[in-house]
Chain A
Protein backbone atom coordinates (compact mmCIF):
# COMPACT_ATOMS: atom_id res chain seq x y z
CA UNK A 1 0.00 0.00 0.00
CA UNK A 2 1.32 3.43 -0.87
CA UNK A 3 1.82 6.03 1.84
CA UNK A 4 1.56 9.78 1.66
CA UNK A 5 4.68 11.68 2.63
CA UNK A 6 4.20 13.80 5.76
CA UNK A 7 4.38 16.92 3.62
CA UNK A 8 1.44 15.84 1.49
CA UNK A 9 -1.33 17.20 3.66
CA UNK A 10 -2.64 19.08 0.63
CA UNK A 11 -3.16 22.31 2.58
CA UNK A 12 -4.14 24.30 -0.48
CA UNK A 13 -6.99 21.85 -1.22
CA UNK A 14 -8.03 21.53 2.37
CA UNK A 15 -8.47 17.76 2.14
CA UNK A 16 -6.37 14.66 2.36
CA UNK A 17 -6.72 12.19 -0.51
CA UNK A 18 -6.78 8.56 0.48
CA UNK A 19 -4.33 6.67 -1.75
CA UNK A 20 -7.03 4.14 -2.79
CA UNK A 21 -9.11 6.97 -4.18
CA UNK A 22 -6.31 8.27 -6.37
CA UNK A 23 -6.55 5.40 -8.85
CA UNK A 24 -3.99 4.51 -11.49
CA UNK A 25 -2.80 1.57 -9.47
CA UNK A 26 -4.31 -1.45 -11.20
CA UNK A 27 -2.44 -4.15 -13.04
CA UNK A 28 -2.33 -4.25 -16.84
CA UNK A 29 -4.79 -7.16 -16.86
CA UNK A 30 -7.29 -5.05 -14.88
CA UNK A 31 -7.25 -2.40 -17.58
CA UNK A 32 -7.63 -5.08 -20.26
CA UNK A 33 -10.57 -6.55 -18.31
CA UNK A 34 -12.26 -3.13 -18.51
CA UNK A 35 -12.50 -3.64 -22.27
CA UNK A 36 -14.50 -6.89 -21.90
CA UNK A 37 -12.13 -9.00 -24.06
CA UNK A 38 -14.65 -11.83 -24.54
CA UNK A 39 -17.21 -9.42 -25.99
CA UNK A 40 -14.44 -7.89 -28.11
CA UNK A 41 -13.56 -11.30 -29.54
CA UNK A 42 -17.20 -11.88 -30.54
CA UNK A 43 -17.30 -8.42 -32.14
CA UNK A 44 -14.10 -9.11 -34.09
CA UNK A 45 -15.43 -12.47 -35.24
CA UNK A 46 -18.82 -11.17 -36.46
CA UNK A 47 -17.22 -8.09 -38.03
CA UNK A 48 -14.64 -10.24 -39.84
CA UNK A 49 -17.40 -12.37 -41.30
CA UNK A 50 -19.33 -9.23 -42.26
CA UNK A 51 -16.25 -8.05 -44.14
CA UNK A 52 -15.47 -11.30 -45.92
CA UNK A 53 -19.07 -11.90 -47.01
CA UNK A 54 -19.24 -8.58 -48.84
CA UNK A 55 -15.61 -8.20 -49.92
CA UNK A 56 -13.51 -11.39 -49.81
CA UNK A 57 -10.55 -9.75 -51.58
CA UNK A 58 -10.20 -6.84 -49.19
CA UNK A 59 -6.70 -5.51 -48.48
CA UNK A 60 -5.58 -7.41 -45.35
CA UNK A 61 -3.83 -4.41 -43.79
CA UNK A 62 -6.83 -2.11 -44.20
CA UNK A 63 -9.23 -4.87 -43.13
CA UNK A 64 -7.13 -5.84 -40.10
CA UNK A 65 -6.69 -2.23 -39.02
CA UNK A 66 -10.40 -1.50 -39.43
CA UNK A 67 -11.23 -4.63 -37.44
CA UNK A 68 -8.84 -3.53 -34.71
CA UNK A 69 -10.53 -0.13 -34.47
CA UNK A 70 -13.97 -1.76 -34.36
CA UNK A 71 -12.67 -3.99 -31.54
CA UNK A 72 -11.23 -0.99 -29.68
CA UNK A 73 -14.55 0.82 -30.10
CA UNK A 74 -16.33 -2.21 -28.63
CA UNK A 75 -13.82 -2.28 -25.77
CA UNK A 76 -14.39 1.43 -25.17
CA UNK A 77 -18.15 0.93 -24.88
CA UNK A 78 -17.57 -2.01 -22.52
CA UNK A 79 -15.33 0.21 -20.41
CA UNK A 80 -17.94 3.00 -20.27
CA UNK A 81 -20.59 0.40 -19.44
CA UNK A 82 -18.48 -0.82 -16.50
CA UNK A 83 -18.03 2.77 -15.33
CA UNK A 84 -21.78 3.44 -15.39
CA UNK A 85 -22.82 0.07 -13.95
CA UNK A 86 -20.19 -0.17 -11.18
CA UNK A 87 -22.89 0.11 -8.48
CA UNK A 88 -24.96 -2.80 -9.80
CA UNK A 89 -21.88 -4.84 -10.76
CA UNK A 90 -20.91 -4.73 -7.06
CA UNK A 91 -24.07 -6.54 -5.94
CA UNK A 92 -24.22 -9.21 -8.65
CA UNK A 93 -22.22 -12.42 -8.14
CA UNK A 94 -21.40 -12.62 -11.85
CA UNK A 95 -19.84 -9.15 -11.97
CA UNK A 96 -18.62 -8.20 -8.51
CA UNK A 97 -15.03 -9.21 -9.21
CA UNK A 98 -14.78 -6.72 -12.09
CA UNK A 99 -11.97 -4.18 -11.63
CA UNK A 100 -14.10 -1.20 -10.53
CA UNK A 101 -16.37 -2.88 -7.93
CA UNK A 102 -13.36 -4.86 -6.69
CA UNK A 103 -11.56 -1.53 -6.06
CA UNK A 104 -8.62 -2.16 -8.37
CA UNK A 105 -9.48 0.67 -10.76
CA UNK A 106 -11.03 4.04 -9.92
CA UNK A 107 -14.29 4.83 -11.80
CA UNK A 108 -12.84 8.11 -13.11
CA UNK A 109 -10.00 6.17 -14.74
CA UNK A 110 -12.50 3.91 -16.50
CA UNK A 111 -14.46 6.95 -17.70
CA UNK A 112 -11.31 8.63 -19.02
CA UNK A 113 -10.05 5.48 -20.74
CA UNK A 114 -13.48 4.73 -22.21
CA UNK A 115 -13.92 8.23 -23.62
CA UNK A 116 -10.35 8.38 -24.98
CA UNK A 117 -10.65 4.99 -26.69
CA UNK A 118 -14.10 5.88 -28.07
CA UNK A 119 -12.87 9.08 -29.68
CA UNK A 120 -9.59 7.49 -30.77
CA UNK A 121 -11.18 4.42 -32.37
CA UNK A 122 -13.79 6.46 -34.25
CA UNK A 123 -11.23 8.96 -35.59
CA UNK A 124 -8.79 6.19 -36.52
CA UNK A 125 -11.49 4.18 -38.31
CA UNK A 126 -12.46 7.31 -40.23
CA UNK A 127 -8.86 7.85 -41.33
CA UNK A 128 -8.14 4.18 -42.05
CA UNK A 129 -11.41 3.26 -43.77
CA UNK A 130 -14.05 5.94 -44.29
CA UNK A 131 -16.28 8.31 -42.34
CA UNK A 132 -19.48 6.29 -42.88
CA UNK A 133 -17.90 3.40 -40.96
CA UNK A 134 -16.62 5.84 -38.33
CA UNK A 135 -20.08 7.37 -37.92
CA UNK A 136 -21.62 3.90 -37.57
CA UNK A 137 -19.01 2.95 -34.96
CA UNK A 138 -19.69 6.18 -33.04
CA UNK A 139 -23.41 5.45 -33.23
CA UNK A 140 -22.87 1.91 -31.98
CA UNK A 141 -20.81 3.10 -28.99
CA UNK A 142 -23.35 5.83 -28.18
CA UNK A 143 -26.24 3.38 -28.51
CA UNK A 144 -24.63 0.85 -26.18
CA UNK A 145 -23.60 3.37 -23.55
CA UNK A 146 -26.33 6.03 -23.66
CA UNK A 147 -29.39 4.16 -24.96
CA UNK A 148 -28.76 0.71 -23.42
CA UNK A 149 -26.58 1.19 -20.32
CA UNK A 150 -27.84 4.57 -19.15
CA UNK A 151 -31.34 4.48 -20.61
CA UNK A 152 -32.87 1.06 -21.05
CA UNK A 153 -31.06 -1.34 -18.73
CA UNK A 154 -32.57 -0.13 -15.46
CA UNK A 155 -35.86 1.04 -16.93
CA UNK A 156 -37.59 -1.59 -19.06
CA UNK A 157 -37.83 -5.36 -19.47
CA UNK A 158 -37.16 -4.77 -23.16
CA UNK A 159 -33.64 -3.61 -22.27
CA UNK A 160 -31.70 -6.38 -23.98
CA UNK A 161 -34.16 -6.57 -26.90
CA UNK A 162 -33.52 -2.98 -27.99
CA UNK A 163 -30.01 -2.80 -26.55
CA UNK A 164 -29.12 -5.93 -28.52
CA UNK A 165 -28.85 -3.73 -31.60
CA UNK A 166 -25.49 -2.44 -30.34
CA UNK A 167 -24.08 -5.96 -30.29
CA UNK A 168 -25.58 -6.70 -33.69
CA UNK A 169 -24.07 -3.77 -35.56
CA UNK A 170 -20.38 -4.81 -35.93
CA UNK A 171 -20.95 -6.62 -39.28
CA UNK A 172 -22.63 -3.46 -40.60
CA UNK A 173 -19.72 -1.27 -39.46
CA UNK A 174 -17.29 -3.74 -41.03
CA UNK A 175 -19.28 -3.76 -44.29
CA UNK A 176 -19.17 0.04 -44.42
CA UNK A 177 -15.44 0.00 -43.65
CA UNK A 178 -14.53 -2.10 -46.67
CA UNK A 179 -17.21 -1.10 -49.19
CA UNK A 180 -18.15 2.44 -48.17
CA UNK A 181 -21.85 1.47 -48.07
CA UNK A 182 -24.23 -0.70 -46.10
CA UNK A 183 -25.49 -3.71 -48.00
CA UNK A 184 -28.25 -6.30 -47.57
CA UNK A 185 -25.81 -9.01 -46.46
CA UNK A 186 -24.53 -7.19 -43.38
CA UNK A 187 -28.04 -6.02 -42.48
CA UNK A 188 -29.24 -9.65 -42.53
CA UNK A 189 -26.31 -10.68 -40.30
CA UNK A 190 -27.14 -7.78 -38.00
CA UNK A 191 -30.77 -8.96 -37.82
CA UNK A 192 -29.66 -12.53 -37.03
CA UNK A 193 -27.62 -11.32 -34.03
CA UNK A 194 -30.45 -8.98 -33.03
CA UNK A 195 -33.00 -11.83 -32.98
CA UNK A 196 -30.52 -14.15 -31.25
CA UNK A 197 -29.87 -11.78 -28.33
CA UNK A 198 -33.19 -12.08 -26.40
CA UNK A 199 -33.34 -15.89 -26.14
CA UNK A 200 -29.62 -15.93 -25.31
CA UNK A 201 -29.80 -13.42 -22.45
CA UNK A 202 -33.22 -14.45 -21.16
CA UNK A 203 -32.00 -18.05 -20.78
CA UNK A 204 -29.27 -16.71 -18.47
CA UNK A 205 -31.71 -14.35 -16.75
CA UNK A 206 -33.97 -17.30 -15.89
CA UNK A 207 -31.14 -18.76 -13.82
CA UNK A 208 -29.73 -15.50 -12.48
CA UNK A 209 -33.06 -13.77 -11.76
CA UNK A 210 -32.33 -13.37 -8.03
CA UNK A 211 -29.03 -11.70 -8.92
CA UNK A 212 -30.78 -9.26 -11.26
CA UNK A 213 -33.52 -8.66 -8.67
CA UNK A 214 -30.91 -7.79 -6.02
CA UNK A 215 -29.35 -5.29 -8.45
CA UNK A 216 -32.78 -3.86 -9.33
CA UNK A 217 -32.49 -4.62 -13.04
CA UNK A 218 -35.89 -5.24 -14.65
CA UNK A 219 -34.99 -8.36 -16.61
CA UNK A 220 -37.86 -10.24 -18.22
CA UNK A 221 -38.13 -13.06 -15.60
CA UNK A 222 -38.25 -10.49 -12.77
CA UNK A 223 -40.89 -8.32 -14.42
CA UNK A 224 -43.17 -10.72 -16.34
CA UNK A 225 -42.24 -13.94 -14.55
CA UNK A 226 -40.32 -17.03 -15.68
CA UNK A 227 -43.20 -18.58 -17.63
CA UNK A 228 -43.79 -15.47 -19.75
CA UNK A 229 -40.02 -15.39 -20.35
CA UNK A 230 -40.05 -19.02 -21.52
CA UNK A 231 -42.86 -18.20 -23.97
CA UNK A 232 -40.91 -15.26 -25.35
CA UNK A 233 -37.72 -17.34 -25.65
CA UNK A 234 -39.63 -19.87 -27.73
CA UNK A 235 -41.29 -17.20 -29.90
CA UNK A 236 -38.00 -15.44 -30.62
CA UNK A 237 -36.33 -18.77 -31.44
CA UNK A 238 -39.21 -19.64 -33.79
CA UNK A 239 -38.50 -16.41 -35.67
CA UNK A 240 -34.70 -16.63 -35.40
CA UNK A 241 -34.14 -20.14 -36.80
CA UNK A 242 -35.95 -19.66 -40.16
CA UNK A 243 -34.61 -16.10 -40.43
CA UNK A 244 -31.05 -17.41 -40.05
CA UNK A 245 -31.61 -19.43 -43.24
CA UNK A 246 -32.16 -16.23 -45.24
CA UNK A 247 -28.52 -15.97 -46.44
CA UNK A 248 -29.15 -19.09 -48.56
CA UNK A 249 -31.95 -17.68 -50.79
CA UNK A 250 -30.18 -14.31 -50.78
CA UNK A 251 -27.16 -16.02 -52.32
CA UNK A 252 -24.42 -15.40 -49.76
CA UNK A 253 -24.96 -18.58 -47.77
CA UNK A 254 -24.05 -21.81 -49.55
CA UNK A 255 -24.56 -25.52 -48.91
CA UNK A 256 -22.33 -25.50 -45.85
CA UNK A 257 -24.06 -22.53 -44.27
CA UNK A 258 -27.49 -23.91 -45.11
CA UNK A 259 -26.69 -27.30 -43.57
CA UNK A 260 -25.13 -25.83 -40.42
CA UNK A 261 -27.98 -23.37 -40.03
CA UNK A 262 -30.59 -26.13 -40.38
CA UNK A 263 -28.91 -28.56 -37.97
CA UNK A 264 -27.85 -26.03 -35.34
CA UNK A 265 -31.21 -24.27 -35.69
CA UNK A 266 -32.98 -27.57 -34.98
CA UNK A 267 -30.85 -27.93 -31.84
CA UNK A 268 -31.63 -24.38 -30.78
CA UNK A 269 -35.35 -24.92 -31.33
CA UNK A 270 -35.34 -28.24 -29.45
CA UNK A 271 -33.69 -26.60 -26.44
CA UNK A 272 -36.10 -23.64 -26.55
CA UNK A 273 -39.01 -26.11 -26.51
CA UNK A 274 -37.38 -27.93 -23.60
CA UNK A 275 -36.96 -24.67 -21.68
CA UNK A 276 -40.65 -23.93 -22.40
CA UNK A 277 -41.72 -27.36 -21.15
CA UNK A 278 -39.50 -27.87 -18.08
CA UNK A 279 -40.56 -25.18 -15.62
CA UNK A 280 -39.76 -26.41 -12.15
CA UNK A 281 -36.94 -27.80 -10.06
CA UNK A 282 -33.22 -27.95 -10.69
CA UNK A 283 -33.85 -29.40 -14.13
CA UNK A 284 -35.46 -26.10 -15.25
CA UNK A 285 -32.29 -24.17 -14.40
CA UNK A 286 -30.08 -26.81 -15.99
CA UNK A 287 -32.06 -26.72 -19.24
CA UNK A 288 -31.97 -22.91 -19.31
CA UNK A 289 -28.18 -22.96 -18.93
CA UNK A 290 -28.00 -25.57 -21.70
CA UNK A 291 -29.87 -23.19 -23.99
CA UNK A 292 -27.64 -20.30 -22.91
CA UNK A 293 -24.51 -22.31 -23.72
CA UNK A 294 -25.87 -23.74 -26.95
CA UNK A 295 -27.01 -20.32 -28.17
CA UNK A 296 -23.37 -19.18 -28.08
CA UNK A 297 -22.35 -22.26 -30.07
CA UNK A 298 -25.24 -21.68 -32.50
CA UNK A 299 -24.20 -18.13 -33.35
CA UNK A 300 -20.57 -19.20 -33.56
CA UNK A 301 -21.43 -22.03 -35.98
CA UNK A 302 -23.50 -19.75 -38.23
CA UNK A 303 -20.71 -17.23 -38.56
CA UNK A 304 -17.98 -19.89 -38.74
CA UNK A 305 -19.80 -21.49 -41.68
CA UNK A 306 -19.91 -18.15 -43.49
CA UNK A 307 -16.24 -17.60 -42.63
CA UNK A 308 -15.35 -21.00 -44.10
CA UNK A 309 -17.37 -20.33 -47.24
CA UNK A 310 -16.10 -16.82 -47.92
CA UNK A 311 -12.70 -16.88 -46.22
CA UNK A 312 -11.57 -20.39 -47.21
CA UNK A 313 -13.29 -20.58 -50.58
CA UNK A 314 -15.75 -23.31 -49.60
CA UNK A 315 -18.77 -21.43 -50.93
CA UNK A 316 -20.97 -23.51 -53.19
CA UNK A 317 -24.20 -21.75 -54.08
CA UNK A 318 -27.47 -23.54 -53.49
CA UNK A 319 -29.53 -23.44 -56.71
CA UNK A 320 -32.53 -21.91 -55.06
CA UNK A 321 -36.07 -22.07 -56.42
Chain B
Protein backbone atom coordinates (compact mmCIF):
# COMPACT_ATOMS: atom_id res chain seq x y z
CA UNK B 1 0.00 0.00 0.00
CA UNK B 2 1.29 3.46 -0.87
CA UNK B 3 2.37 5.69 2.02
CA UNK B 4 -0.08 8.51 2.81
CA UNK B 5 1.07 11.84 1.47
CA UNK B 6 -0.27 14.27 4.11
CA UNK B 7 0.93 14.96 7.66
CA UNK B 8 0.80 11.79 9.71
CA UNK B 9 2.24 10.04 12.73
CA UNK B 10 4.41 7.12 11.71
CA UNK B 11 3.89 4.23 14.14
CA UNK B 12 6.54 1.64 14.85
CA UNK B 13 5.71 -2.05 14.36
CA UNK B 14 5.26 -2.50 18.12
CA UNK B 15 2.91 0.49 18.31
CA UNK B 16 0.87 -0.82 15.38
CA UNK B 17 0.59 -4.16 17.16
CA UNK B 18 -0.58 -2.46 20.37
CA UNK B 19 -3.11 -0.39 18.43
CA UNK B 20 -4.47 -3.54 16.81
CA UNK B 21 -4.81 -5.22 20.22
CA UNK B 22 -6.66 -2.18 21.57
CA UNK B 23 -8.98 -2.10 18.57
CA UNK B 24 -9.81 -5.79 19.00
CA UNK B 25 -10.45 -5.28 22.73
CA UNK B 26 -12.81 -2.35 22.01
CA UNK B 27 -14.63 -4.39 19.35
CA UNK B 28 -15.07 -7.31 21.75
CA UNK B 29 -16.33 -4.99 24.50
CA UNK B 30 -18.85 -3.40 22.14
CA UNK B 31 -20.04 -6.79 20.88
CA UNK B 32 -20.42 -7.95 24.48
CA UNK B 33 -22.48 -4.85 25.33
CA UNK B 34 -24.81 -5.57 22.37
CA UNK B 35 -25.32 -9.15 23.57
CA UNK B 36 -25.77 -7.98 27.16
CA UNK B 37 -28.50 -5.48 26.28
CA UNK B 38 -30.21 -8.05 24.06
CA UNK B 39 -30.20 -10.59 26.91
CA UNK B 40 -31.40 -8.01 29.45
CA UNK B 41 -34.22 -6.93 27.13
CA UNK B 42 -35.41 -10.52 26.78
CA UNK B 43 -35.04 -11.13 30.52
CA UNK B 44 -36.95 -7.97 31.48
CA UNK B 45 -39.73 -8.23 28.96
CA UNK B 46 -39.96 -12.00 28.64
CA UNK B 47 -42.88 -13.15 26.51
CA UNK B 48 -44.23 -9.59 26.58
CA UNK B 49 -41.71 -8.72 23.89
CA UNK B 50 -44.10 -10.28 21.36
CA UNK B 51 -47.15 -8.50 22.80
CA UNK B 52 -47.03 -5.21 20.95
CA UNK B 53 -49.01 -3.46 18.25
CA UNK B 54 -47.68 -4.26 14.81
Contact = CB atoms under 8 A, between A and B. Distances in A.
A19 B6 contact: no
B52 interface: no
B18 A19 contact: no
Given A25-B15, A62-B44, A8 B39 contact: no
B10 A4 contact: yes
Contacts of A28: 21-22, 25
Contacts, number: 55
Contacts of A10: 7
A65 interface: yes
A65 B10 contact: no
Interface residues of B, number: 19
What is the predominant secondary structure among interface residues of chain B facing chain A? Answer: helix
Interface in B1-54: 6-12, 15, 18-19, 21-22, 25, 36, 39-40, 42-44
Nearest to B6: A7
A31 interface: yes
Interface of B: 6-12, 15, 18-19, 21-22, 25, 36, 39-40, 42-44
19 contacts: A1-B15, A2-B9, A2-B11, A3-B9, A3-B10, A4-B9, A5-B9, A7-B6, A8-B9, A22-B9, A27-B22, A28-B22, A31-B22, A59-B43, A61-B40, A61-B42, A62-B43, A65-B36, A68-B36
Given A5-B10, A31-B25, 17 more contacts: A2-B11, A3-B10, A7-B6, A7-B8, A8-B7, A8-B8, A25-B18, A25-B19, A26-B18, A26-B22, A28-B22, A28-B25, A31-B22, A59-B43, A61-B39, A62-B44, A65-B39
